[in-house]
Structure 1
């Protein structure tokens, strides 16, 4: 018998191409890019809209209706059951040349997602990282001869997306955007929660 390597407790990340059609993508860019007026502390070249509800715009209602089935599929991986899901908030990010987003995660939610609304330069692909202070060894083996793989990597760079593509990830997962060497990058981000969770006689209900 040959040796077997088992990946224990993997973290799911869902990539779904072309979730939003081009006409809706263009309409979201046209409507919200001029409304991203709130500056981000990470960079002067990064701004975003206020936190929005899907009901705030017919465009967001359309986007939410297309994204929510994917959240349901992703939630089945997280919780082992088909649950109802609600999008808590949505916002549009505008990242201009030279802008960046610092490492962060999303509080008060269970699933988070990004829909890419414009072309993304390779320099500004979303990067996911291991949580600082995790359960790693205190000493590292890190030099030019090391082969990086899923068990020793500290970050993962997402593939280049196309406008309309979606990624979904657990809200606790740390992520960032490196300095953008390309043109304006616009994304629609959101957080979602299940409508209920049950655990051996206890039921928690959530309201978006």
Structure 2
């Protein structure tokens, strides 16, 4: 007889059920994960999900077990990254403390250092990340890869000339070098040079949404005819009625509010003055959420069918011949004065904002979804390509290669659901 041993199959089944329960928001998820971890105590995915599920259910010490595992296995890079992000959202202590302790034990571990530098950047501490990288270059090795990392952080910290010097003599084979040089040129206002560089990047990797986003900005700033090719008409930016009743929206809003249990937004996300839910929202077993995504699927299919005829090399071309599928979804709750800074989702071809609830007395222009404003590190005098007033029960769809943000609003809350699709 061939195949997995019985105990192994049972453990695998228990793991799958536990992770599915976590993704679906099942109240039994912490118990199921704890039981599955007895069979596989060092399974990374389950350890992370267990800590997140304990946080979600209000456990007073949700990270104790994960911290003990990391103390025994300080080289578990993914665990350190996940714990730091969870602790930042929970506003519990120093999010990077466990990772910093690991670096004391393993001071030359490249994976730990890259995780640490990335998390510093996600926390907006780019100047510190750049200085740490410069120190690594002196103390360990002056590697081209480290120069590239330092240049990236110098650029975000506003040290643009220093970034340019670091990028100047790097070997051309380095991944992301062309992208970083293009972004640096944009920061210096040389959009013609940036256009040349970014066209090479998208030519080599047509799936690079971040590169297409820089191309959109460069081509618009220089009146390049390719911008008309990339954004041929307003049909790429669409607001659609999801046909949800007031009762539907009320139930949905109550359900979503209950999921916003963290104290802060995730590290590195665009949310300023609000929170974001964990996991894939559409997997949750709640009738109100299921009903919402039935409406979203219909609107998404209609959007794809309404797209104009696109050249096969266009980043949205594949959507004209297939049914788009949602790859990730979440909810955002912004509080008084909250907003999203200009950002991208590179996990799909289509991005979105379904507005569920807005303040009753929101003034004209407040809380608007603005498409096409450049990111804060690139000074450009460009207005939005499109601006949408939020309407409860309406969905805005747009290409993922367009930066998007929201304007501030006064008192109240702005509750949305977002997703990526491809």
Q: By the TM > 0.5 criterion, same fold? A: yes
Output the CA distance in 2 between the equivalents of 1:75 and 1:167.
13
Superposed displacement of residue 85, structure 1 = 2.2
Superposed displacement of residue 37, structure 1 = 2.7
Asked if 1:71 corresponds to 2:291, the answer is no
1:122-159: per-residue Cα shift (whole Å, max 9, x none)? 32111112556xxxxx9x8x7xxxxxxxxxx5314523
| Higher relative contact order, structure no. (Cα contacts within 8 Å, ≥ 6 residues apart) | 1
Look up the match of 1:90.
Answer: 329
Question: Does the 8 Å CA contact 1:116/1:186 hold for their aligned counterparts?
Answer: yes
Asked if 1:35 corresponds to 2:259, the answer is yes
Output the CA distance in 2 between the equivalents of 1:103 and 1:131.
6
Look up the match of 1:47.
Answer: 275
Q: Do the aligned partners of residues 44 and 162 (structure 1) sit closer, same or farther apart at CA in structure 2, a change above 3 Å counting?
A: closer
Q: Provide the secondary structure at the position in 2 that maps to 1:97.
A: strand
Output the CA distance in 1 between the equivalents of 2:243 and 2:402.
22
Asked if 1:119 corresponds to 2:119, the answer is no
Normalised TM-score (structure 1): 0.71
Q: Do the aligned partners of residues 53 and 35 (structure 1) sit closer, same or farther apart at CA in structure 2, a change above 3 Å counting?
A: closer
Output the CA distance in 1 between the equivalents of 2:356 and 2:405.
17
Q: Give structure 2 stretches of 5+ with no counterpart.
A: 1-224, 308-315
Q: Provide the secondary structure at the position in 1 that maps to 2:320.
A: coil
Question: Does the 8 Å CA contact 2:367/2:390 hold for their aligned counterparts?
Answer: no
- CA-atom RMSD, angstroms? 2.8
Q: Provide the secondary structure at the position in 1 that maps to 2:388.
A: coil
Q: Return the structure number with greater helix share.
A: 2
Asked if 1:166 corresponds to 2:395, the answer is yes
Look up the match of 2:418.
Answer: 189
Question: Does the 8 Å CA contact 1:90/1:188 hold for their aligned counterparts?
Answer: yes
Look up the match of 2:211.
Answer: none
1:86-112: per-residue Cα shift (whole Å, max 9, x none)? 212221111110112111010121111
Runs of 4+ in 1 over 4 A off after TM superposition: 41-44
Q: Give structure 1 stretches of 5+ with no counterpart.
A: 1-5, 133-137, 143-152, 194-208
Output the CA distance in 1 between the equivalents of 2:275 and 2:260.
6
Q: Provide the secondary structure at the position in 1 that maps to 2:421.
A: strand
Question: Does the 8 Å CA contact 2:353/2:418 hold for their aligned counterparts?
Answer: yes
Question: How many residues are matched?
Answer: 172
- Please identify the structure whose Cα radius of gyration is greater: 2
Q: Provide the secondary structure at the position in 1 that maps to 2:291.
A: helix
